[in-house]
A = this chain, B = another copy of it.
């Protein structure tokens, strides 16, 4: 993309309403614009990151064998009366009537609807196991929306639902989700720690939240420092192998890590003192096993091998996709702006032309831009007639991890500059070498 033809409305001033870094930086970098309290338009740069996260979530869910579909944003109140949640859910649920006076709501979650889909179409254990998920906009009418997309009212969530014959099968689905989530966050460049949690209005006995450590997190967290160093890395996982999947879950959950809701002082004290940590975390996902809570209430049964009809075992599993954009920035920024991890950056590399209009630098920039695009990369070329300082400030603010700077002085020696946004380090090399380095960097992403 050429910046002269893009829509990147960066702000020079810090917006007064933004209290935390991600909110401030998303506004300043032209990623979002507030349209109502807790309701945002995703401007082109923000939308690109959101789509990228969505893509990673799709890929990792499908790798785990989960099937995508798409449920609508609006739901009938009747469905929620069946589970008893229509009355139980508080004022966070946005309720209204359509032109025929039918009671409707904007879905805050989809347990009822997916159970309805299941019971309409599945009747035998032979069609199990089954995990369906979607990525769709939700609405929760927060009394005090704040922190930008971190606590918005209209938000994008991946929610998945497993249907299994037995408790053991459902617990395997639970574990499969935990592992697929760990891989999802790692691909995004995040360390998200699974912590035992309370189940809240979803219900159920087993539940873990995934928390990204950040000073601005809404939850207080207590953990063994060792947990933050755990990595899935590039191990191949066979999601059908129960033992393998369970072992990974054990590895990540046997080290102490809890939120204030479930914190156990006695257990915490057993951690060697130099590894005890108290901090704050941002919740970016949660998984639940709740058995037959919805299937029993809504009559979602299957015929078991012995011919009896049993309510299906279920769980639900969510990733806050729009919220993750904020969490990523909270975990990856400095005083100049955002620093995108390579896995989620909106553009792979920025190209800064130090002397726009100069035939030699223009030609060199065009050649680099063309070569990167031909190699399958998505570069952002700042081709505006602006001072170098302004171009650097914009690149630093929007946080592309790599920048190629092209100026007359370097070109005289046939060199350009490759700069890492994270370390700030620059290196001179030929344009060809810079392009090769970019290819190398993104080869494993």
Residue ranges of A at the interface with B (Cβ–Cβ < 8 Å): 5-7, 9, 30, 33, 35-37, 39-44, 46-48, 50, 65, 67-76, 79, 91-92, 94-96, 98-100, 102, 104, 106, 113, 116-117, 120-122, 130, 132, 134, 137, 139, 141, 143, 153-154
**A375 to B: closest C-beta gap in Å:** 18
User: When the two chains form their complex, are residues B72 and A154 in contact, meaning their CB atoms are under 8 A apart?
Assistant: yes
Instruction: Select which of B9, B70, B75 is within 8 A of A121 by beta carbon.
Output: B9
Residues in B neighbouring A6, C-beta threshold 8 A? 67
Closest to A62 in B: B1
Other than the known A35-B71, A35-B79, what 20 A-B pairs have Cβ atoms closer than 8 Å?
A5-B65, A6-B67, A7-B121, A30-B121, A35-B72, A35-B76, A35-B113, A36-B74, A36-B102, A37-B100, A37-B102, A41-B117, A42-B70, A43-B117, A46-B69, A47-B70, A74-B139, A74-B153, A91-B99, A98-B153
Q: With A7-B132, A137-B73 known to touch, is A94 a contact of B91 (CB < 8 Å)?
A: no
Closest to A43 in B: B69
Q: With A98-B141, A132-B7 known to touch, is A44 a contact of B73 (CB < 8 Å)?
A: no
User: When the two chains form their complex, are residues A96 and B94 in contact, meaning their CB atoms are under 8 A apart?
Assistant: yes
User: When the two chains form their complex, are residues B75 and A35 in contact, meaning their CB atoms are under 8 A apart?
Assistant: yes
Closest to A75 in B: B35
Instruction: Select which of B46, B47, B122 is within 8 A of A9 by beta carbon.
Output: B122
User: When the two chains form their complex, are residues A50 and B35 in contact, meaning their CB atoms are under 8 A apart?
Assistant: no
Residues in B neighbouring A92, C-beta threshold 8 A? 99
User: When the two chains form their complex, are residues B36 and A69 in contact, meaning their CB atoms are under 8 A apart?
Assistant: no
